[in-house]
Amino acid sequence: MTAQTQATLQLFGGIAGVLLLASAIGALLKWRIGGQPHAVIDNLNARVNAWWVMVAVIGLAFAFGKGGVIVLFYLVSFYGLREFVSLAYTRRGDHLAIAAAFYIGLPLQYFLVWIEWYGLYAIFIPVYAFLLLPILSALGGDTKRFLERTAKVQWGLMVCVFCISHVPALLTLRIPGFEDRNLLLIAFLVIVVQGSDVLQYVWGKLFGRHKVAPELSPSKTWEGLVGGVASATLLGAMLAWATPFTFWQAALMALVICIMGFLGGLVMSAIKRDRGVKDWGSMIEGHGGMLDRLDSVIFAAPIYFHVLRYWWEP
């Protein structure tokens, strides 16, 4: 058994233990109220059930290695982009640009990650797709709200494809002394960022009083933010054994990606409020749409990737 396999099994074993405990607590709380509907308890149980499914899917992708991870996040980007575009204001003149985003930009970005061409996948969407999409929209001949329409398609490709593709791109890094263990870099990112979301929710429900941004996300409080980020930072530090980081490096890295995750959640919430919706979709029971679950990862992944590339790669 390789070191990566052993460490991955230990991580997933720990996650399974936490989920078993959460499931037991949820079942106990439901039993104590006699099985009657309860908004908070029902939401908690739905979230735990969804986490079981998501952990199983991620575990299956990990079992297939690089190919499985790239396929998984390709599908994540596809469904995320579909959710984004479905909420955006578009017209017939945008159809060519949207088709190019789905059938050229998305697969080509992940192909570049697959062949590990960093020099191109790092600029393909921010430069080439950024310029191509408005050209295609302009060829449609429709100028009504052209700037708004073009920006939405560009934004969709950036957040749903470019940013998310940095998760599987972690497999392309070559960190001395950490060869063939890059799946653990992904595990660290996902566990810490998603753990921060869960812990912010718990701290907010227990102690939340002061809203951070009531117009954007009424459920987010300063107590939940501070408690959740601090707890997730400690969680990241405790996972240092599975990373190329020291204890304090892991804590600092966790702090950075937790803050970026929180800010990313605010930005994605602002977009939803602008469109007048509560969730991006209903794909994942208890979590809304794909982007509702990944809003934190979207902003954290590129920062995490480039910190690793510029400070840990030779």
pLDDT value at position 298? 95
- Of 63, 91, 106, which one is at a domain's C-terminal end? 63
The per-residue pLDDT for 119 is 95
Distance CA 186, CA 282 (A): 25
Residues 120 and 12 in one domain: no
Q: What is the structure's pLDDT at 18?
A: 77
Are 192 and 297 in a shared domain? yes
Tell whether pTM > 0.75: yes
Query: Number of folded domains in the chain?
Result: 3
154 shares its domain with 280 = no
If asked whether residues 39 and 165 sit together in one domain, one would say: no
Tell me the one-letter amino acid at 136. Answer: L
Q: Which of 220, 202, 203 is nearest to 211 (CA)?
A: 220
Which domain-ending residue is among 63, 82, 106? 63
Largest CA distance in the chain: 62
Q: Which two structure tokens, joined as six digits, stand for 116?
A: 């590990």
**Cross-strand bridge partners of residue 288:** 284
Range of the domain at 51: 1-63
Predicted local confidence at residue 158, as pLDDT: 97
- Per-residue pLDDT, 15: 80
**What is the model's pLDDT at position 24?**
86
pLDDT along the chain (314 residues), means of 10: 71 80 81 78 74 84 92 96 90 92 97 97 96 94 92 95 97 91 93 88 83 83 92 94 95 97 92 86 69 90 97 90
Together in a domain, 306 and 238: yes
Tell me the two tokens of residue 307. Answer: 């910190």
Structure tokens, 115: 């062949």
Structural contact between residues 250 and 239, judged by C-beta atoms closer than 8 angstroms: yes
